[in-house]
């Protein structure tokens, strides 16, 4: 962007439509302007923050007119927290926009013939739908402009979510509408207990402090896992905290802690201590049990995960005699979910602990026709692997947001499985991969699924069939 444009304010910009990543677009002097935290139909003044020769980015600094489609956000933290960016848009429109994103990405990026994109499968629950939340303790609570301007002294310890793009600022959460059960109560009680007992909240910048992070996981079967991360090994205070949680919340079925003095909050490489209850929780789907350990991935909207898996299974059109590859299998949930309808299912996944869970989940459900392998997809899925296993009739692939590595796409083209079911949480990378697969495949069905109401995220399932 020319230096002149930076910080320039464009007045009376009409926000026309939603673009990707939840941003909206308007046009100014023939250029696209991307704006965050607005809604189609808003008329705003926009301060330009960034831009290239063909587009600009900016933030709304003044609203002349609000879109008639806006609704009142229900959460007091809306706008600061960044967790539910679309609460100001009614749910029907959220669904319309999400479906439109899929259409746009396939038209703009895949540029291949596509069938009519099915209406998005909405989530039956639009609040309290998440089964996992991750809260951070901080001694640097985010203060509102009013608080700063008041000149008063405020409590600076906080337990809540990161402010977008500010790694050390935490918004203190009083009520979060994303997770039900005892989640809000556990978080608020633990904060209160820590403040009363003058336990230290983590100093993210200097990496010191006792209380670092709190993870709460719930299941549709009513179980709750709570994991407390401590930033220091304090043998007096740790049992104090854990005993408080154990006594106050008998509904916690799995109470764990971990001492993490590393530079980051991830604990996949650390040992967790089970303080009370079991070291796992169990989710259930069509009578199948899925054991979820503290380090295991499980789709975060359990009810909607079931809908998503049913779409994937329908798109696979299994008759019972197929060999299915489930790529990026995680804890083998899809693999085990479709196993009854296939001859054999082979799951591949990067995380070894997840593969251990996948095997365990087959075992506890009496499923004997699954095989699981751990490793990087592009390395595992090679000529040797293909030579040593039956060729797939159906490939189900569910990669992370970045999509599939080019080597994996090339291997799928060599494998020539009659059907590929591509599940994705990022239609842009999915459309990119589909463009490559179009060399041999045609797109037969497209079904968006809403896993995350109140956010711009959209899950999408595509059925591809080998061209004759």
Ligand X SMILES: C[S@@+](CC[C@H](N)C(=O)[O-])C[C@H]1O[C@@H](n2cnc3c(N)ncnc32)[C@H](O)[C@@H]1O
| Apex 401 CA angle, 122 and 73, nearest 5 | 45
Q: Minimum CB separation from ligand X for residue 9, in Å?
A: 40
CB closer to ligand X, 159 vs 449: 449
CB closer to ligand X, 136 vs 397: 397
**Helix/strand/coil (H/E/C) assignment for every residue in 223-292:** CEEEEEEECCCCCCHHHHHHHHHHHHCCCCCEEEEEECCCCCCCCCCCCCEEEEECCCEEEEECCEEEEE
- Residue 398, marked binder: yes
- Residue 349, marked binder: yes
CB closer to ligand X, 104 vs 349: 349
Helix (H) or strand (E) holding 361: helix 352-364
**Known active-site residue 425:** yes
Helix (H) or strand (E) holding 73: none
What the block records as the tokens of 459 is 């899950």
Q: Minimum CB separation from ligand X for residue 377, in Å?
A: 4
Residues 335-394 within binding reach of ligand X (CB under 6 A): 349-351, 354, 376-377
Q: Rounded CA gap, 223 and 388, in Å?
A: 41
Q: Give the chain's count of helices (H) and strands (E).
A: 11, 22
Residues 282-341 within binding reach of ligand X (CB under 6 A): 297, 299, 328-330, 333-334
Choose, from 75, 84, 176, 425, the residue flagged as catalytic.
425
Helix (H) or strand (E) holding 63: strand 55-65
Q: Rounded CA gap, 289 and 57, in Å?
A: 47
Q: Minimum CB separation from ligand X for residue 358, in Å?
A: 9
By CB under 6 A, name the one of 79, 115, 239, 400 that touches ligand X: 400
254 binds ligand X per the rule CB under 6 A: no
Q: Rounded CA gap, 346 and 323, in Å?
A: 8
Q: Minimum CB separation from ligand X for residue 86, in Å?
A: 21
Kindly write down the DSSP assignment for every residue of 342-353, as one continuous string. Answer: SSEEEEEES-HH
164 binds ligand X per the rule CB under 6 A: no
CB closer to ligand X, 352 vs 439: 352
- Residue 299, marked binder: yes
By CB under 6 A, name the one of 398, 433, 450, 459 that touches ligand X: 398
Site string for ligand X, 403-442 (x = CB under 6 A): ----------------------x-----------------
Q: Minimum CB separation from ligand X for residue 163, in Å?
A: 26
Residue holding tokens 């970045």? 402
Cα–Cα distances (Å) from 16 to 12, 88, 198, 387, 405, in that order, read 12, 16, 51, 53, 34
- Residue 328, marked binder: yes
222 binds ligand X per the rule CB under 6 A: no
Q: Minimum CB separation from ligand X for residue 381, in Å?
A: 9
What the block records as the tokens of 132 is 């996992």
Name the residues annotated as catalytic.
425
Annotated binding site: 299, 328, 349, 398
Annotated binding site for S-adenosyl-L-methionine: 299, 328, 349, 398
Q: Which positions touch ligand X (CB under 6 A)?
A: 297, 299, 328-330, 333-334, 349-351, 354, 376-377, 398-400, 425
């Amino acid at each position: 962007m020319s230096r002149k444009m930076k910080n320039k304010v464009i007045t009376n910009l009409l926000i026309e439509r939603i673009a990707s990543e939840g941003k909206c677009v308007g046009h100014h002097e023939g250029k696209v302007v991307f704006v965050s935290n607005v809604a189609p139909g808003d008329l705003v003044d926009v301060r330009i923050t960034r831009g290239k020769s063909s587009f600009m980015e900016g933030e709304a600094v003044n609203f002349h007119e609000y879109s008639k489609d806006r609704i009142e956000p229900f959460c007091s933290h809306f706008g600061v927290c960044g967790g539910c960016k679309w609460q100001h848009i009614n749910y029907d429109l959220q669904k319309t926009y999400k479906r439109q994103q899929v259409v746009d990405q396939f038209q703009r990026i895949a540029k291949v013939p596509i069938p009519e994109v099915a209406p998005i499968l909405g989530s039956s629950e639009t609040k309290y739908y998440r089964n996992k939340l991750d809260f951070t303790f901080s001694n640097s609570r985010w203060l509102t402009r009013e608080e700063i301007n008041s000149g008063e002294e405020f409590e600076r310890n906080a337990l809540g979510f990161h402010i977008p793009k500010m790694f050390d600022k935490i918004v203190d959460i009083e009520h979060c509408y994303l997770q039900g059960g005892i989640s809000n109560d556990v978080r608020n009680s633990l904060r209160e207990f820590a403040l009363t007992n003058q336990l230290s909240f983590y100093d993210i910048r200097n990496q010191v402090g006792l209380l670092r992070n709190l993870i709460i996981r719930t299941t549709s079967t009513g179980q709750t896992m709570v994991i407390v991360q401590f930033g220091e090994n304090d043998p007096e205070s740790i049992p104090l905290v854990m005993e408080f949680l154990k006594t106050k919340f008998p509904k916690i079925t799995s109470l764990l802690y971990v001492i993490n003095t590393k530079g980051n909050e991830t604990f996949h490489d650390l040992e967790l201590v089970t303080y009370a209850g079991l070291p796992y929780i169990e989710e259930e789907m069509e009578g199948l049990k899925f054991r979820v350990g503290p380090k295991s991935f499980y789709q975060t909207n359990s009810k909607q995960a079931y809908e998503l898996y049913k779409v994937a299974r329908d798109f696979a059109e299994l008759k019972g005699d197929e060999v299915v590859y489930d790529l990026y299998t995680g804890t083998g949930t899809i693999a085990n979910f479709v196993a009854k309808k296939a001859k054999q299912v082979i799951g591949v996944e990067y995380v070894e602990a997840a593969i251990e869970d996948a095997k365990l989940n087959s075992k506890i459900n009496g499923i004997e026709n699954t095989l699981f392998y751990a490793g990087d997809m592009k390395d595992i899925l090679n000529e040797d692997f293909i030579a040593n296993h039956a060729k797939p009739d159906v490939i189900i692939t569910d990669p992370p947001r970045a999509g599939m590595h080019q080597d994996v796409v090339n291997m799928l083209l060599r494998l020539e499985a009659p059907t590929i079911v591509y599940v994705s949480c990022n239609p842009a990378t999915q459309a990119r991969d589909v463009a490559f697969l179009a060399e041999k495949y045609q797109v037969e069905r497209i079904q968006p699924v809403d896993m995350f109401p109140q956010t711009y995220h959209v899950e999408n399932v595509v059925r591809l069939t080998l061209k004759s």
